[in-house]
Structure 1
Amino acid sequence: MTKTSNNENTVITKKDLKKMFWRSLPMEFSWHYERQMHMGFCTMISAGLRKIYKDDPEGLKKALHRHLEFFNITPHISSFVGGITLAMEEMNAKKEDFDESSINAVKAALMGPLSGIGDSIMLGTLRVIAVGVGTSLALQGSILGPILFLLIFNVPALILRYFCAMKGYELGVSYLEKIQKSGLMQKFMLAAAILGVMVIGGMTNELVTVATPLAIGSGKAATKIQTILDGIMPGMLGLVATGIYYKLLGKKVNVMWMIIGTAIIGIICAQFGILK
């Protein structure tokens, strides 16, 4: 089979990356609010993982479990992260001293920046153009309206998915080999971990919204507590809420009980004017 890298020791082939490309299409079929695309991502790369860990069942088990962590990205570029991830898993299978935690750190680091680019191009630009062309023709009663909409949006989207699958793995293999040989691997892992923490912090501020209408004083002279908290650190209450959920998950509390508890506490706090 044709290799995607000049390195003859690579396990993943072009055929495997094509399989990953096809598996990326139903990425959002299992999307949910707890971990979003994690099952879709794990399914997308699972065939490659089985090949990488063919003789190591325990390693395969750990890898599949590792990729059930939170993941969310513009779906049309998910295969790029999948390609890089397979390259890192391949290196992990070969090197005993490889830091497994760096794999998810790199995934977390790529989610935010790539989503910003992907959402802008695919959803903010290409989809708008496709809708504009399609609806203008559809309003005139032309069957070309829906057809052109599907073609204008989906053809570039499919090409992008395929290109990302190939280039993601190729970049991952070549770049990881270079930094491994140069001795920069530890610095690379540290940088990825720091960026990953920053991305998760930004996501926490954007996705977890907690605010209080409580105020100190009365009338026009009243000072809102939320304003004071935002002056200290924007999103502080959201961070506190996230920390509580993190602790509860660490103690294996059932997610359904957490959702029910959140709903009950939210209703009570809203009723008594503690939260808004």
Structure 2
Amino acid sequence: MTNQAFQVQDKEDRKMLNKVFWRTMTLSSTYNYERMQGLGYVYTMIPVISRYYDKEEDRIAAYKRHYELFNTTPTMGGFITGLSTSMEKEASQDKNFDTNSINAVKLSLMGPFAGIGDSIFQGSLRIISLGIGIALAAQGSILGVILHLLVYNVIAHLLRYYGVFAGYNMGTSFIQSASENGILGQITKAAGIVGLMTIGAMTCSMISFQIPAVLNIQGSELVIQEMLDQIFPNLLPLLLTFVCYKLINKNVKAIWIMLGLMVFGVIGALLGIF
């Protein structure tokens, strides 16, 4: 992807796209189950509609056009709003332009981009940044919080910002070529692999679950934890992770899982089991 994909020569267009970028921060601010991010999308597109349409009826039609169901990973919304901006500009200049295609493109992109965005940001980057932050915070360092916020937000906001400009400049050609070349699928798969590797590493290094109990068998002491480590190192943290995962899949609220773990830990400690 060349630098030209992010450059906009017209000064007024740059100002407009900067407004679009800042407004993408509100995509999920009015989230609801009827239109999801629809109202946030309309708000994001107001500078575009105001710039390209002079007639009130055209603006109202554009507002209604974007006040439809929309839902994607907010960070990935930058590219889609930039693409919508490009299409709205074309619609304002060409009376024969099919405005229905604007929503059609939005709907076709929100699913794939949500998959990619969730894999990269929710499934990978957030876990990696948390892993870095928790490791430092566990040592009592305030840098843990700072680095977590920086690692995640700097990358997320850069992608959101440049996504707006890339979508505006590249139009529909990027999606068509990416789909034909299989790039979208490769990105999703790679992000999923990295996320699973990170979760595995965090399960091993950051979940502490041991059984200090010692069994006395005919005068010989058997340390249960040492026996488990010889069979399968870090088996208990892995099993605990699987139990929590199963509970989440059964729609058990996270707060109840955390409270259950606290009670489980306190009772186990009082009984001397772990």
TM-score w.r.t. structure 1 length? 0.58
1:12: how far off? 6.1
Change (3 A) 1:116 1:168: same
Mapped to 2, the partners of 1:67 and 1:50 lie a distance apart of 14
> 1:232-271 residue pairs with structure 2 within 5 A?
none
For residues 172 and 159 of structure 1, the distance between their equivalents in structure 2, rounded to whole angstroms, comes to 19
Q: Report the CA distance between 1:4 and its aligned residue.
A: 4.7
TM-aligned CA deviation for residue 23 of structure 1: 0.9
State yes or no: 1:73 paired with 2:72: yes
| Preserved CA contact (<8 Å) 2:8 2:14 | no
Residue 113 of structure 1 is matched in structure 2 by 112
How many residues were matched structurally? 170
- Is contact 2:49–2:62 with CA below 8 Å preserved after alignment? yes
Tell me if structure 2 keeps the 8 A contact 1:12–1:48: no
Cα distance in 2 between the residues matched to 1:159 and 1:123: 16
3-state secondary structure, aligned to 2:26: coil
Separation in 2, partners of 1:23, 1:69:
17
Q: Distance in 2 between matches of 1:5 and 1:132?
A: 38
Pairs within 5 Å for 1:59-138: 59-138=58-137
Residue aligning to 1:56: 55
Aligned-partner Cα distance in 2 for 1:120–1:135: 21
User: What is the identity percentage for the equivalent residue pairs of Structure 1 and Structure 2?
Assistant: 41
CA contact (8 A) 2:20 2:164 kept: yes
1:62-89 deviation digits (Å, cap 9, x = unpaired): 0011101000011001011001101111
Counterpart in the other structure of 1:32: 32
CA-CA distance at 1:26 after TM superposition: 2.2
Q: Whole-Å Cα distance in 2 between the matches of residues 5 and 143 of structure 1? A: 40
Which 4+ stretches in 1 moved above 2 angstroms? Answer: 3-6
The 8 Å contact of residues 12 and 51 in structure 1, kept in 2 or not, is answered as: no
| TM-score (structure 2 length as normaliser) | 0.59
CA offset digits 1:168-227 (Å, max 9, x no partner)? 000118x49xx9xxxxxxxxxxxxxxxxxxxxxxxxxxxxxxxxxxxxxxxxxxxxxxxx
- Contact 1:28–1:75 (CA under 8 A) maintained in structure 2: yes
In structure 2, do the counterparts of structure 1 residues 80 and 140 end up closer, same or farther at CA, with 3 Å as the change threshold?
same
Question: Cα distance, 1:18 vs. partner?
Answer: 1.0
Q: Note the aligned Cα RMSD (angstroms).
A: 2.2
Question: Which one has the largest radius of gyration?
Answer: 2
Segments of structure 1 that go 5 or more residues without pairing to the other structure are: 180-276
CA change 1:48–1:12 in 2 (3 A) is farther
